[in-house]
Amino acid sequence: MTRKHTMINVTKEICMWILSLIILIPVAMLLLNSVKNVTESASMSLKLPTSFHFDNFVTVFKDGNILRSFWNSLLISSLTSVITIITSSMAAFVMTRNRTRLNRYIYILFLIGLIVPMNYITTMKVLQMLHIINTFTGIILLYSATFIPFTVFLFYGFVSGIPKELDESAVIDGSGGGGLFFRIIFPLMKPVSVTALIINFLNCWNDFVLPLYFLNSSGKWGMIMTMYNYFSQYISSWNLVSAAMLINLVPILVVYVLGQKYIISGMTAGAVKG
């Protein structure tokens, strides 16, 4: 019986390594081609370069658009994630603690927001009326509105598992509504908050569609839009394109590595407690 389990575990591990090659091979290809010259990188192979050209990264950073777009993406993704987490957690807390018919309907509306596609023409008209189209404010609010339904869904299940006795104890001690939430309840939401932060940050950083429609100024573009432009401009210089792609991957890898232990725990906790 022990030998059988050992064979099953070894087989599973081999399968996982094979599946991981789907991710590892493209990343390795990017790493190698980012330090090759133009001629060697044209083949996009996994061969080692004859000499390492780390100056490719210097060349990419000298392009002001890449650096500016990096900070634009960081600004938009960070503010979107913070706004989404604060508003969604507060909404989920109110709806779970006051289970009225109205709040139930509001929660159903949030769930509908998970599946109903965005009407781009109507959204564009609204942003134009508010004079926030082609602005950081407009795109941040638009991303927040897009991510709130899913984030509320995550928080709703998690908050349902927090005992109401904590609320009563805080109120007896003289805590108000704001103090109750931010000092007692919100710190308990750390697993699901980090999960929502990572998911929303990555989705915002990697999104191509919304900037394409609602950010006409190239000075406000994030990394994905600039990468698309950069690829068209330097399509014959795969070494520079690979270097730019690696720069774009850095924040994604950092955020994922730092918060990966919370992703599964936050998702499952919300699912079980809901």
- Can you list the domains of the chain with their CATH numbers? 55-273 (1.10.3720.10)
Identify the band that residue 43 occupies on the pLDDT scale cut at 50, 70 and 90. confident
pLDDT tens digits, 156-202: 988 888 888 887 787 787 777 778 888 888 888 888 898 899 889 98
By the 8 A CB rule, do 152 and 144 touch? no
Amino acid at 45: S
Residues 45, 68: Cα–Cα separation, whole Å: 30
- The residue among 232 and 126 whose pLDDT is bigger is 126
pLDDT over 60 (residue 236): yes
Please determine, for residue 270, whether its predicted confidence score (pLDDT) is greater than 60: no
**pLDDT 10s digits, 97-121:** 888 889 899 999 888 888 888 888 8
Stretch among 131-135, 173-177, 219-223 having the lowest mean pLDDT? 173-177
Q: Which of 88, 205, 196, 194 is nearest to 139 (CA)?
A: 205
